[in-house]
Amino acid sequence: MMRRMAGSTLGTLFRVTTAGESHGPGNVVIVDGCPAGLALGVDDLVPDLQRRRPGQSKIVTQRKEPDAPEILSGVFEGRTTGTPIAILIRNADQRSRDYSAIQDLYRPGHADHTWDAKFGFRDHRGGGRASARETVARVAAAAIAKKLLREACGVEVLAYVRQVGGIVADVDPGAVTLEQVEATPVRCPDPARAAEMISLIDAVRRDQDSIGGVAEIVARGVPAGLGEPVFDKLKADLAKALFSLPAVLGVEYGNGFRAATLRGSENNDLYQPGDPAALRTATNRHGGMLGGISSGMPIVMRAVVKPTSSIPTPQATVNRAGEAAEIRTTGRHDPCLLPRFVPMAEAMVALTLADHWLRWRAVHGIDLDRE
């Protein structure tokens, strides 16, 4: 029986469709719904792609990919035309032979068995489409979303590593800067904790193991009013977007799970007197969203990222016939996913915010070209 794969498109008005696999010729993204007239070139895409790319430091996978984007359509004379934008990022350093010995084995922590259960067939080379390699297309698309948000309403989306293992950084989401995040290879803006994180990642790498952690994402300058009242709440769409990333096991915003231990008087944010069109609260325990709609305060979210499942340490498993086997995953893998996860998390938040911003503008009947 033929099986159809769906679920490769995100968004309502700002729509992103990706295609490609870890060890295929390349990855493609089509962005549909970007307004015409936005200045756009390859140079706008490169910075975030370079932050995501493998091989950038000793604490990430050593796969060498230039991740050079090619804009195939939707841009003319340096500006978007309002038609679909197609971007291609070619794969250049696949080593599919690293996976030939385990093509019939199920890797612990991976989607091998679940893909077989769903499709009856899978690409065993690096996980195929289940690989985080696919996210290169999302990051390219999000560079467009970020520029649109920044120029249209001054929104900035920034992520950083809050925690690796038991090491937790002291970071103010309202004050952190991109320069602070990029100052260390682990992308933690707390220098003392960053050094400890790097030492921990080095230690688990030498142990042929891996370690997880938490990324925090802040979106500043988001106007109040984005999101829908029920099923398309902004918090729900943001959570879905972040959960769509490989290795994400949990998402929270504002006080998150800490709210379970608080009283209402401790969890509520009190409004400050001021202009009704720009009301703000004295604190931001609600993480910038109330009733699933943006409040005008910074949106603050956290995503829990599991330890990398691919480790060289031998582990017990089974083959496709259900027979006992042992597996040792070779190839090149991140001992900690967090440093390269940061631009992926920014991408999913930016894509979701761009979509909801366009939806908000459509409801208010405002022509983007006549503001």
- Measure the CA–CA gap between 225 and 237, rounded to whole angstroms: 15
| Local structure of 252: helix, strand or coil | strand
Burial degree of 152 (CB within 10 A; 0-12, 13-18, 19+)? middle
Distance separating the N- and C-terminal Cα atoms of the chain:
53
335 lies in a domain? Answer: yes
**Residue 206 dihedral angles phi and psi, to the nearest 5°:** -65, -30
Q: What is the pLDDT of residue 258?
A: 96
Q: Is residue 219 part of a domain?
A: yes
Under 8 Å between Cβ of 127 and 110: yes
Residue 370 pLDDT: 45
Q: Residue 4 falls within a domain, yes or no? A: no
Q: Alpha-carbon distance 246 to 111, whole Å? A: 10
Q: Considering its fold, how many domains does the chain have in total?
A: 1
Rounded Cα distance between 76 and 81, Å, is 6
State residue 286's pLDDT score. 98
Q: Tell me how far apart the alpha carbons of residues 202 and 186 are, in angstroms, rounded to a whole number.
A: 11
What does the pLDDT read at residue 102?
75
Calpha distance 191→131 (Å, rounded): 31
How many Å is the Cα radius of gyration of the chain?
Answer: 21
Would residue 371 count as lying in a domain?
no
Cα 133 to the center of its chain, rounded Å: 12
For residue 327, what are its two tokens?
């597996």
314 touches 326 (CB < 8 A) = yes
Helix (H) or strand (E) holding 168: strand 167-168
What is the pLDDT, as a whole number, of residue 1?
44
Q: What is the residue range of 30's domain?
A: 9-365
Six-digit token pair at 5? Answer: 């794969």
The CA angle 29-250-237, to the nearest 5 degrees, is 50
| pLDDT (tens place) for every residue of the chain, 371 residues total | 445 556 899 999 999 999 988 777 899 999 999 999 999 999 999 999 999 986 666 777 666 678 899 999 999 999 999 999 999 999 876 555 566 677 788 888 888 888 788 887 777 666 667 788 899 999 999 999 999 999 999 999 999 999 999 999 999 999 999 999 999 999 999 999 999 999 999 999 999 999 999 999 999 999 999 999 999 999 999 999 999 999 999 999 999 999 999 999 999 999 999 888 889 999 999 999 999 999 999 999 999 999 988 888 888 988 888 889 998 876 667 899 999 999 999 999 999 999 999 999 998 776 555 44
Question: DSSP characters for 271-336?
Answer: EESS-GGG-EES--TTTTEETTEE-SSPEEEEEEEPPPS--SS-EEEEBTT--EEEE---S---SB
Residue 2, domain member (yes or no): no
* The residue type at 147: K
Q: 177 in a domain, yes or no?
A: yes
Does residue 1 fall inside a structural domain? no
Spatial separation of the C-alpha atoms in residues 60 and 340, rounded to whole Å: 8
Residue type, 293: I
Cα–Cα distance measured from residue 341 to residue 331, given in angstroms and rounded to the nearest whole number: 19
Helix (H) or strand (E) holding 214: strand 213-220
Neighbours of 291 (CB within 10 A): 14
What pTM did the predictor assign? 0.92
Is 291 contained in some domain?
Answer: yes
Q: What's the token pair of residue 192? A: 């003392």
Angle at 350 between CA 344 and CA 354, to 5 degrees: 150
CATH of the domain at 252: 3.60.150.10
